[in-house]
Amino acid sequence: MGKRDFSTTRIELVLSGLKHFIPKYFEANPLSQLQLVQTRGGLAHMLSTLSGNKQQHVNALQQLSALTGEASLQNSLEVSLSSLSNVPQYGTREVLILLGTLTSCDPSDIKKTIKKLIKRNITVNIIGLSAEVFICKKICECTHGIYSVVRNEKHFEKLILEYVLPPPASSHQQEVRESNFLVMGFPRYIIQELIPAGQLPLLSYTLCACHKTPSSSGYLCPRCDNKICNIPATCNICGLLLVSSLDLSQSYHFLNPLQPFQIVEMGTTSTNFDDSESEEEDIVTNQNCAACNENLFGKLKMSCPKCSSLFCEVCNSFLHEVLSHCPTCLNQ
């Protein structure tokens, strides 16, 4: 990982890519969880546990400053297996490997590990920083993943950001998954204050269940009043999934995505009457974007298939990539 194949070393390229990937991942998948695993010296170590705490994973990247020794694909996959085995069937189980070597020092037959991955419906994706390796391609083919080899820095950034959005469920995954109700809790945020008589207010510190450290603020579980620092998370006491309404609505967009808008052809239909032509020109001239109110005369126009409202090209991208809603449809 210390080789300088690009303008920077491989480890610096990986660190830079992960620092961009982690925030974007949780921004697009607020209810998902992430875990970082490193392999060196023929072993695999967990840098962070499987959780939805973005800051925990960012802090764990500081331990990736130096990686020496042989990598082990099998040990890395076994550690991932032990963590992802507890993920419910309705969730997606994925492993993304950033591999900077051509060899793998494994303790036994890696084909047995591949069979475990297939049995637990875990998809393995690999991004190689060197040449193509047969066993990596085999692992991805057996687990219905994608194997890619980096050409340059821009290509690496493009490849890693492709895994930000959740993938569509395959036909095999749809057969295995079961539709079940998921119990969630909406905790309230508190700031604990202790106000003695005739004195200035003081902060009251209590232990949080996630870090076992004193804190004056946090989220209270609605079922057991357990205090945690960040959400979304799972309550350490009662096991209730704690989320906010914003996280839930953002995840719902992937189940019911906004339909693509139709392109409206520029130009108008001509008629034989001068009055009708002038009225038609006035209608086209007065067409504004339903979002930013920009005049769309002579510009590319997009039409919502439900409400037929017109939008400019910039607002069309914003509605589909960020908002995931048509504002005119919501107003009706």
> What pLDDT shows up at residue 134?
94
Mean pLDDT by 10 residues, the chain (332 residues): 74 89 88 90 89 86 74 94 84 90 90 93 92 93 93 92 79 60 87 60 71 83 88 85 82 77 66 44 63 87 90 91 85 78
What whole-number distance in Å separates Cα of residue 280 and Cα of residue 276? 6
Sequence letter at residue 145: G
H or E element, residue 35? strand 34-40
Q: Could you give the maximum distance between any two Cα atoms of the chain, in Å? A: 87
Report all structural domains of the chain as residue ranges with CATH numbers, in order of start.
10-170 (3.40.50.410), 184-245 (no CATH), 262-331 (3.30.40.10)
> What pLDDT shows up at residue 281?
45
> What pLDDT shows up at residue 37?
93
Asked if omega into 196 is within 30° of 0 (cis), the reply is no
Dig out the tokens for 147 from the structure. 């194997």
For the chain, state the CA radius of gyration: 26
Task: Please state the φ and ψ torsions of residue 316, each to the nearest 5 degrees.
Answer: -60, -45
Other CB atoms within 10 A of residue 37 CB = 18
pTM: 0.72
Residue with tokens 């820095």: 153
- Dihedral sign (CA 332, 255, 83, 48): negative
> What pLDDT shows up at residue 78?
95
Dig out the tokens for 154 from the structure. 């821009």
> What pLDDT shows up at residue 198?
53
Strands (E), 129-240: 147-149, 184-185, 188-191, 193-194, 202-203, 206-207, 214-215, 217-220, 227-228, 233-234
Residue with tokens 């204050």: 193
For 222, counting Cβ atoms within 10 Å of its Cβ (0-12 exposed, 13-18 middle, 19+ buried), the class is middle
What whole-number distance in Å separates Cα of residue 72 and Cα of residue 105? 5
> What pLDDT shows up at residue 203?
61
Are the beta carbons of 29 and 246 closer than 8 angstroms? no
